[in-house]
Amino acid sequence: VSFSQQTYASRGEQHAHPVAKQLFATMERKQSNLSLAADVSTKSELLEIADKVGPYICVLKTHIDVISNFDQDLVVQLQALAEKHDFLIFEDRKFADIGNTVKLQYGGGVYRIADWAHITNCHVIPGEGIIQGLAEVGMPKGRGLLLLAEMSSKGMLATGAYTDKNVDMAIRNEFVIGFIGSRRFTEERDLITMTPGVGLHASGDALGQQYRTPEHIITENGSDIIIVGRGIYGPGKDAVAEAQRYREAGWNAYLKRLDQ
């Protein structure tokens, strides 16, 4: 049976990777395949939205380098919220350098991402050494990695043979738990797909973002998690009400897939 036809609960039970196991268990407990892309620019805004929307999500996705007043206390508080509301933290760092450099960027610097983010991601443009470098830092800490096999934006170049290479590298490297992309890519190792560019109302933005519906992504394409940002906290929106709406849409799309 294809992984798309199995429940998140049973996939979690069978999974070999600790982060994937924890993620599937969280999704099942909270009945949520929703990740919030919390692209706000201050510490207080990030903590506020994580606390408000936390009950409805399985993953909080951060861009920690856009927080103008970042400090270590932010990370301590984010970890406390992850405990309180039962979600994982995904730092959307999109590493893209040689293995030795990404090791320094992932483990050290101001942000020390590997110390607090359960999940991070990278482009495989530099070749497989980027995965090996990140794994040297992240594996001992029990972290997981996503590869950017595709992107959501107009004219993106991650297609065809490049996407296929991502899939090959993911299968070969046990540190990799899945992909950023629009669909299920493989039946090997139950690699997870998380999909950004999800919106119930808008079709895109002025800078190339393109939106598709949860049903398209989860039911039709077999992806596992929807990533939603401005659809939840955009201007004039009630973030809690929107998070509830996207959670329900994502979960219903998953139930519909299981029924097919």
Instruction: Judge whether 209 is annotated as a binding position.
Output: yes
Instruction: Judge whether 256 is annotated as a binding position.
Output: no
Judged by beta carbon, residue 28 or residue 231, the one nearer ligand S5P is 231
Q: Which amino acid is at 57?
A: I
CB of 38 to ligand S5P, least distance (A): 8
Instruction: Judge whether 68 is annotated as a binding position.
Output: no
Catalytic residues: 92, 94, 97
Give the span between the Cα atoms of 225 and 121, in whole angstroms: 15
If you compute the radius of gyration of the chain from its CA atoms, what whole number of angstroms results?
Answer: 17
Judged by beta carbon, residue 10 or residue 159, the one nearer ligand S5P is 159
Instruction: Judge whether 112 is annotated as a binding position.
Output: no
CB of 259 to ligand S5P, least distance (A): 27
CB of 151 to ligand S5P, least distance (A): 3
Which tokens hold the place of 79? 């970890």
Judged by beta carbon, residue 54 or residue 197, the one nearer ligand S5P is 197
The region that residue 146 occupies, defined by phi over 0 for left and psi between -120 and 50 for alpha, beta otherwise, is beta
Cα–Cα distance list, 147 to 25, 43, 124, 130, 258 (Å): 22, 27, 7, 11, 26
Judged by beta carbon, residue 80 or residue 202, the one nearer ligand S5P is 202
Binding site for ligand S5P (CB under 6 A): 37, 39, 63, 92, 151-153, 180, 196-197, 209, 227-231
Residue 84: CB partners within 8 Å, gap ≥ 6?
51, 54
CB of 49 to ligand S5P, least distance (A): 12
Cα–Cα distance list, 171 to 168, 178, 188, 224 (Å): 5, 9, 7, 17
* Positions at the binding site: 39, 61, 152, 209, 229-230
* Positions at the binding site for substrate: 39, 61, 152, 209, 229-230
